[in-house]
Amino acid sequence: MSGSKKEKKAVGLKYDGVSAPTVVARGFDGLADEIIELAKEAGVLVHEDPELADFLAKLEVGDEIPQEVYVIIAELIAFATWLNLKA
């Protein structure tokens, strides 16, 4: 077992309700921390899922999410919407 620390990743998505969600922010380690902090300050849902983050981190800013993750992202958007309606 190695003592190496896994690289932290953060990916921000935007959904306009029409097109597939797109990557609007992507960062690693310190930049990932900044993205997460800014999202929290802005009231954006922050969901921690290392496997999903690994997958999405392969995309570039401006890319639409691939069909393989439509369902999980749709569930997260629905959950965030539900939380906003309850607030």
For residue 1, is pLDDT > 60? Answer: no
- Residue 23: beta bridge partners? 13
How crowded is the C-beta side of 47, counted as CA atoms within 13 Å? 19
Lowest mean pLDDT segment, chosen from 9-13, 28-32, 58-62, 80-84: 80-84
Non-local CB neighbours of 84 within 8 Å, separated by 6+ positions: none
pLDDT value, residue 87: 74
The predicted-structure confidence for 34-87, as pLDDT tens digits, reads as follows: 999 999 999 999 999 999 999 999 999 999 999 999 999 999 999 999 988 987
Task: Set out the domains of the chain in order of their start, with CATH numbers.
Answer: 9-86 (3.40.1690.10)
Q: Containing H/E element for 13? A: strand 9-14
